[in-house]
Amino acid sequence: MREDGYCDIVGRIKDMVIRGGENIYPREVEEFLYTHPDIEDAQVIGVPDVRYGEEVCAWIRMKPGRPALDAAAVQSFAAGRLAHYKIPRYVHVVDEFPMTVTGKIRKVEMREHTARMFDGAGE
């Protein structure tokens, strides 16, 4: 509850990423990323972007012993196999995803963290 008596809802407002008017279902991109031989798990979120409204960001966990992928490697893997507007612009490799005490992934925290990491990158 804010001081002015209003409250902000910060839960699952939406999962869909809307990039330049195109609707992107994160699960579809995640399922595609699972086909990469070095990716153990992936979570896809939308992050604010000046030009497109939102941009696609993939948080990925690598399989044990596999080198971290960068955005260029993921984009190269996806080129010609995934619609260009669905290809993640940003990639963040992590050991673990932020989780709630009940074991659910905290996408709100991921969005906030990513927005700070790439603040202004879409300008």
Domain that holds residue 27: 17-117
Number of domains in the chain: 1
Residue 39 contacts residue 33 (beta carbons within 8 Å): yes
Flag whether 123 is in a domain: no
Flag whether 5 is in a domain: no
CATH number at residue 56: 3.30.300.30
Average the pLDDT over 79-107 and give the result: 95
Query: Tens digits of per-residue pLDDT, 23-51?
Result: 999 999 999 999 999 999 999 999 999 99
Flag whether 97 is in a domain: yes
Residue 25 CA from chain centroid, whole number: 11
Flag whether 6 is in a domain: no
Give the model's confidence band at 123: pLDDT under 50 very low, under 70 low, under 90 confident, else very high: very low
Residue 15 contacts residue 26 (beta carbons within 8 Å): yes
Classify residue 69 by its DSSP letter.
Answer: P
- For the record, the structure tokens of 45 come out as 């979120």
